[in-house]
Amino acid sequence: MSDPLDLPVAEQAARVRDAADPLTARALVDASLARIAAHNEALNAFLHVAPERARAAADRVDADVAAGRDPGPLAGVPLAVKDNLEVEGLPLTCGSRILGTWKPLRTATSVARAEAAGAVVVGKTNLDEFAMGSSTENSAFGPSRNPYDVERVPGGSSGGSAAAVAAGLVPLALGSDTGGSIRQPAAFCGIVGFKPTYGRVSRSGLVAFASSLDQVGPFARSVADARRLQAVLEGPDPLDATSRAFVTPGSAATPVPRGLEGLRIGRVAEMTTERRVVGTEGVDRVEGLRAQLDAAGATAVDVALPAIAEAIAIYYVIAPAEASSNLARFDGVRYGHRAEADSLERLYAKTRAEGFGAEVKRRILLGTFALSAGYADAFYKRARGAQVALGQAFAEAFERCDVLVSATTPTAAFRLGEKTGDPLAMYRSDVLTVAANLAGLPAVSIPAGFNEQGLPLGLQVQGPVGADALVFDVAEALERQLATCRYVAPEEAA
Ligand code: GLN
């Protein structure tokens, strides 16, 4: 590990903050920009790189250190930002043509907080258009590619952020997770991705997809790095009425030193192959690791969560319903692209027909239908009822166990083009992640080794609402444990 960019984030920041250490923020940022220049063409992880803005920010961090001011816990650490988060002065595309060359006038609260802690934004990363997708293939600017195999997807929708971290272009990135868009790409790219409890991180400046489900969160190479970024993001924000302070200790709190000893780890039958809800390699891998969790002192608890089988159906009513309403603002008058037309009505219609891609149109149609008079009771209201029941089922499960451990995704990264012709197959790749959003739970994906083709697989830890610190603690303990343990295939264990 000769390159400082590969050090743990805490060490990078500590060295930058130490005036006696020759490592500067400028050197870290230049190293990151050089790697982006060398590898972005192959990965298409960044839609926009901002060298001037980044170098100026790095120089401010170094000037602070020289003047004896503390630039903060992320001093000089390069950060990639998903391109559905506003950064003043940089273009914002949301992976769509409809925003044209529009530039936001302010910076998202989450990004501003990371910058206030010393992190340096180096660029904006690729995503499925308006974060709708699981592969980044819905980006209007071409798909990102998985650093482990460039013929495969990095996952989505935050695929650019995940690919950038996995390839070492940046140590940290921000994503958004509405149904799995941080955890699924983290799993596909062999890194850590955390979705906070709903409300823990401000959504101000995040372009809304499904406002009641969207959360901003970190990508990193280790749980400790992810936690360090998360710690500076969270806290109530007057610009987001759903953001709040939590009574339970935040993820910013000093980690409780805790191993797996005595921890009650829930195993949801509906998230394994048992009930035939999901299947294959991702699930088998995590099942193959369970014995070792028990051996480390954890107590296995079987919990039934039949409601989880409906999570995809609930999600694909509620998320499109909210999206159809949120996306009404892209009308050709307020932002970016504007079609030529002879009436206002035609201008709206033509702008949206030209500006939005196929998946976004599908979601708008689905959502508008689900909310329309005569159908809202049968679809939207019914889905909301089922969502409440799912939340209650989780709350009951968490009376019997501390956390739930499952696979993050049924399979490892799929090939580019493999699912683009079958929207339902694409939707089903979120089968293990959407429930956490519907219930507002904190959830993290950590690396769980590789399949036979050398592709990464992820393990997901979900905790009760507000228990973000516990989820991080458990993820850190599992990360340590998994580094030493041997995977035993379920058939071998039986
Ligand atoms: N893949 C899911 C979807 O397409 C989730 C996306 C997300 O979390 N932003 O809606």
Specify the pTM. 0.96
Verify whether ligand 1 is closer than 6 Å to residue 131 (CB atom).
yes
Q: What is the DSSP letter of 378?
A: I
- 377 compared with 16, residue with greater pLDDT: 16
Checking if the pLDDT of 222 tops 80, the result is yes
Residue 443 CB contacts under 8 Å (≥ 6 apart), including other chains: 183, 194, 195, 433, 436, 460, 461, 462, 463, 471
Q: Are strands 403-407 and 299-303 parallel, antiparallel or unpaired?
A: unpaired
Question: What's the number of CA atoms in the CB half-sphere (13 Å) around residue 177?
Answer: 37
Gap between the Cα atoms of 250 and 310, Å rounded: 30
Gap between the Cα atoms of 270 and 308, Å rounded: 7
Question: How wide is the angle at C-alpha 448 spanned by C-alphas 443 and 453, nearest 5°?
Answer: 130
At residue 273 the predicted structure's pLDDT band, cuts being 50, 70 and 90, is confident
Checking if the pLDDT of 251 tops 90, the result is no
Confidence at residue 481, expressed as pLDDT on a 0 to 100 scale = 87
Mean pLDDT of the chain: 93
| Neighbouring-strand partners of residue 81 | 124, 174
Q: What is the mean pLDDT of residues 212-229?
A: 97
At residue 101 the predicted structure's pLDDT band, cuts being 50, 70 and 90, is very high
Confidence at residue 279, expressed as pLDDT on a 0 to 100 scale = 63
Checking if the pLDDT of 300 tops 70, the result is yes
- The helix (run of H) or strand (run of E) holding residue 81 is strand 78-82
**C-alpha closest to that of 433 among 314, 316, 323, 311:** 311
At residue 485 the predicted structure's pLDDT band, cuts being 50, 70 and 90, is low
Report phi then psi at 183, rounded to 5: -70, -40
Confidence at residue 165, expressed as pLDDT on a 0 to 100 scale = 98
Domain boundaries, the chain: 4-262+436-492
347-401 pLDDT, tens digit each? 999 999 999 999 999 999 999 999 998 999 999 999 999 999 999 999 999 999 9
Gap between the Cα atoms of 494 and 491, Å rounded: 5
- The helix (run of H) or strand (run of E) holding residue 430 is none
Calculate how far, in angstroms, residue 218's C-alpha sits from the geometric centre of ligand 1: 16
- In our burial notation (b when 16+ CB lie closer than 10 A, e otherwise), range 463-472 reads bbbbbbbbbb
- 272 compared with 223, residue with greater pLDDT: 223
Checking if the pLDDT of 427 tops 90, the result is yes
149-168 pLDDT, tens digit each? 999 999 999 999 999 999 99
Q: What CATH code is assigned to 4-262+436-492? A: 3.90.1300.10
Q: What is the DSSP letter of 170?
A: -
Instruction: For residue 124, indicate whether it is catalytic.
Output: no
Verify whether ligand 1 is closer than 6 Å to residue 311 (CB atom).
no
**Which of the residues 110, 134, 144, 157 is marked catalytic?**
157
Residue 212 CB contacts under 8 Å (≥ 6 apart), including other chains: 198, 242, 318, 322
Q: What is the mean pLDDT of residues 285-296?
A: 87
Q: What is the position in ligand 1's atom list of the atom closest to the CA of 180?
A: 8
Checking if the pLDDT of 1 tops 70, the result is no
Calculate how far, in angstroms, residue 260's C-alpha sits from the geometric centre of ligand 1: 31
Q: Are 187 and 108 in contact (CB under 8 A)?
A: no
Q: E-strand spans in 288-361?
A: 299-303
Checking if the pLDDT of 493 tops 60, the result is no
Checking if the pLDDT of 424 tops 70, the result is yes
Confidence at residue 131, expressed as pLDDT on a 0 to 100 scale = 98
Instruction: For residue 82, indicate whether it is catalytic.
Output: yes
Checking if the pLDDT of 257 tops 90, the result is no
Verify whether ligand 1 is closer than 6 Å to residue 180 (CB atom).
yes
Report phi then psi at 189, rounded to 5: -105, 5
Gap between the Cα atoms of 390 and 213, Å rounded: 14
Q: Pick from 157, 212, 216, 360 the residue to mutate for probing ligand 1's pocket: most ligand atoms within 8 Å of its CB.
A: 157
Q: Are strands 46-49 and 120-125 parallel, antiparallel or unpaired?
A: antiparallel
Q: Are 489 and 296 in contact (CB under 8 A)?
A: no
**Ligand 1, atom 4: nearest CA belongs to which residue?**
133
Residues making up the chain, counted from first to last:
494
Verify whether ligand 1 is closer than 6 Å to residue 134 (CB atom).
yes
**Which of the residues 181, 222, 429, 445 is marked catalytic?**
181
**Ligand 1, atom 10: nearest CA belongs to which residue?**
132
Gap between the Cα atoms of 306 and 270, Å rounded: 6
Gap between the Cα atoms of 242 and 202, Å rounded: 8
Q: Are 473 and 260 in contact (CB under 8 A)?
A: no
**Ligand 1, atom 5: nearest CA belongs to which residue?**
179
Instruction: For residue 419, indicate whether it is catalytic.
Output: no
Q: Pick from 181, 198, 209 the residue to mutate for probing ligand 1's pocket: most ligand atoms within 8 Å of its CB.
A: 181
Confidence at residue 118, expressed as pLDDT on a 0 to 100 scale = 98
Confidence at residue 460, expressed as pLDDT on a 0 to 100 scale = 98
Structure tokens at 28: 């870290």
47-93 pLDDT, tens digit each? 999 999 999 999 999 999 999 999 999 999 999 999 999 999 999 99
